[in-house]
Amino acid sequence: MTKEKIFQIVGIVVVVGVVGGLAFFGANKWHKQPVAEKSPSVATVNGVVLTQADFDTQLATTLTTLKSQGVNTEDPTKLAEVKAQVLNDMISNELVAEEIAKEGIKTTDSDVETQYQTILTQVGGADQLKTQLASANMTDTQLRTNISKQLTIKAYLLKHIDMNTATASPTEISKFYDDNVKGQKGAPTLKDITDQIKQQIINTKQQLLINTFIASLREKAKVETTLK
């Protein structure tokens, strides 16, 4: 996989439907300076306050997405898991944002527009995109802002992580097929879905690389959580 290929950053970002929105809301600035917040905090990262208000916004968006996928978010155990993941994502986002600010990594308007047009095509046009945005409680401006941040995160991660180490061997592909597809009623042949399985394996390995890298950032950071 080349560095130019866009990959999903699961665990760092919260994907909203098919529009690929990030878990960033509110101010346009990436890195908030440590200030007194009117909203109670859910965590602090190197002195930067992550507020209850931002957490509630992200949680609501995540729950909306999960409900649309048929997940029972009313289950107390599941809800607790979702809250923990949202908080973890917020902390990871802040850690990455701080590093991006230090390194001065930025994206261009042209890059944002290119990705915006790609999304527009993928969802089937302007009307479909408008519907998707409405269901995600997101505006067109927020989408563009999120695209910019997503591309910046991508550039930062690719600078520090060698994604080319994530590969899928024929043996791994065959095992994945045997474990997850073979034997199911109407299952496609291995030949028919080899490419899809290969990509799934690569995506999973990329995610592990990202998780490991983010964990290394967190080990060096001062993180305190106060979520109740």
Residue range(s) defining the domain that contains residue 81: 41-165+218-225
Q: Is residue 19 domain-resident? A: no
- The full 3-state SS of 193-209, as one line of letters, equals HHHHHHHHHHHHHHHHH
Question: Is the predicted pLDDT of residue 29 greater than 50, yes or no?
Answer: no
Q: Is residue 69 domain-resident? A: yes
* Greatest distance between any 2 Cα atoms in the chain: 59
Q: Is residue 77 domain-resident? A: yes
Cβ atoms 196, 212 nearer than 8 A: no
Residues 136, 64: Cα–Cα separation, whole Å: 7
Q: How is residue 143 written in tokens?
A: 């989408």
Please, which pLDDT band fits residue 34 given cuts at 50, 70 and 90? very low
Q: What is the pLDDT of residues 43-53, one digit of tens each?
A: 999 999 999 99
Q: Is residue 13 domain-resident? A: no
Q: How is residue 61 written in tokens?
A: 């968006």
- Going by their DSSP bridges, the two strands 41-45 and 48-51 should be labelled as antiparallel
Domain count, the chain: 1
CATH number of residue 94's parent domain: 1.10.4030.10
Question: Is the predicted pLDDT of residue 77 greater than 90, yes or no?
Answer: yes
Q: Is residue 170 domain-resident? A: no
Q: What is the pLDDT of residues 139-186, one digit of tens each?
A: 899 889 888 988 898 899 999 999 999 999 999 999 999 999 998 888
Q: Is residue 174 domain-resident? A: no
Q: Is residue 15 domain-resident? A: no
At residue 2, what are phi and psi to the nearest 5 degrees? -80, 160
In this structure, how many other beta carbons lie within 10 angstroms of the beta carbon of residue 129? Answer: 20
Amino acid at 86: V
Q: Is residue 7 domain-resident? A: no
Please, which pLDDT band fits residue 227 given cuts at 50, 70 and 90? confident
Average pLDDT on 39-46 reads 92
